[in-house]
Amino acid sequence: MIYLKTKEEVELLRENNLLVSATLAEVGRHIKPGVTTLELDRIAEEFIRSHGAVPGFLGYGGFPNTLCVSVNENVVHGIPSDYALHEGDIVSVDCGTVLKGFYGDSAYTFAVGEVAPEVAQLLKVTKEALKKGVEQAVAGKRVGDISAAVQQHAEQFGYGVVRELVGHGLGRNMHEDPEVPNYGRRGHGPLLKEGMVICIEPMINMGTKSVVFERDGWTVRTKDRKPSAHFEYAVAIRNGEADVLTDFGLIEAALGIG
């Protein structure tokens, strides 16, 4: 069942997703060598609660923390721990909120200090793939148009596009229909209609697309242990041009980039 949102509901989703962006910006200010991923989690939880919201991931399906923090070869759903970040790491931070009955959900992959050029390119291309997908997220297109745009951009650089994990609808629940894969065929999949709100979230591996599910029941890593990048936007479907509810500008201003 795909739920179309009213204008008022879209604005509540925007409020949530701007809070997620602000939370990721606050986390980003603290990302440096030596900081633990558990410390980043604490910063995020305090920030979310101080703004009158509650963490969307904490307790969701039994997940134990506020953030999913996935370092280097970990693709998504990494559990915060005492691991201290190192110069040259990359760290995907996925964050959710619940405010006024709706969810926010977004992810950003941060570089820790200076990263290798090939890793910097992976981050750049994954973010570009997200934007290619967003260009297709308009009323009258189909989910497959988004999927194909993401896949085509990533694969032309020789990267692996993860199959097992996908984007999704967003609303009163964190995961709603439709699923939004990062691979697919143009002209296929559910029709995009004004009022749909979806999360587009490329998960792109430097090497093979194959992944392994770790024994902790959550963490997903690349099979070849090469780095993986992950960026996620919440998007409201409109006629003519997608309405991006996430603001990476807040994050990049905090990092002094962009």
Residue 2 lies inside a defined structural domain of this protein: no
Q: How many CB atoms lie within 10 A of CB 238?
A: 16
Residue 16 lies inside a defined structural domain of this protein: yes
What is the predicted pLDDT for the residue at 258? Answer: 66
Residue 1 lies inside a defined structural domain of this protein: no
Q: What are phi and psi of 101, to 5 degrees?
A: 85, 5
10 Å CB burial of residue 66 (0-12, 13-18, 19+) is: buried
Distance CA(115)–CA(140), nearest Å, equals 40
Provide the 8-state DSSP code for 61.
G
pLDDT in tens, the chain (258 residues): 999 999 999 999 999 999 999 999 999 999 999 999 999 999 999 999 999 999 999 999 999 999 999 999 999 999 999 999 999 999 999 999 999 999 999 999 999 999 999 999 999 999 999 999 999 999 999 999 999 999 999 999 999 999 999 999 999 999 999 999 999 999 999 999 999 999 999 999 999 999 999 999 999 999 999 999 999 999 999 999 999 999 999 999 999 986
Query: If DSSP codes are grouped into helix, strand and coil, which group holds residue 8?
Result: helix
Residue 206 lies inside a defined structural domain of this protein: yes
What is the predicted pLDDT for the residue at 59? Answer: 97
Angle at 202 between CA 134 and CA 60, to 5 degrees: 105
Residue 196 lies inside a defined structural domain of this protein: yes
- Chain segment 114-160, per-residue pLDDT in tens: 999 999 999 999 999 999 999 999 999 999 999 999 999 999 999 99
Helices and strands in the chain: count of H runs, count of E runs: 5, 15
Q: What are phi and psi of 159, to 5 degrees?
A: -85, 160
Structural domain containing residue 137: 7-255
Q: Which residues pair with 222 in a beta bridge?
A: 211
Cα 10 to chain centroid distance, Å, stands at 19
What is the predicted pLDDT for the residue at 111? Answer: 98
Residue 152 lies inside a defined structural domain of this protein: yes
What is the predicted pLDDT for the residue at 240? Answer: 93
Give how far Cα 29 sits from Cα of 21, 51, 146, Å.
13, 18, 31
Distance CA(191)–CA(41), nearest Å, equals 37
CATH number at residue 86: 3.90.230.10
% the chain with pLDDT above 70: 100
State pTM to two decimals. Answer: 0.98
Domain count, the chain: 1
Closest among 62, 232, 75, 59 to 164, alpha carbons compared: 75
Closest among 88, 44, 41 to 69, alpha carbons compared: 41
Q: Which residues pair with 19 in a beta bridge?
A: none
Q: What is the mean pLDDT of the chain?
A: 98
What is the predicted pLDDT for the residue at 233? Answer: 98
Provide the 8-state DSSP code for 177.
E
Give, rounded to a whole angstrom, the gap between the first and last alpha carbons of the chain. Answer: 38
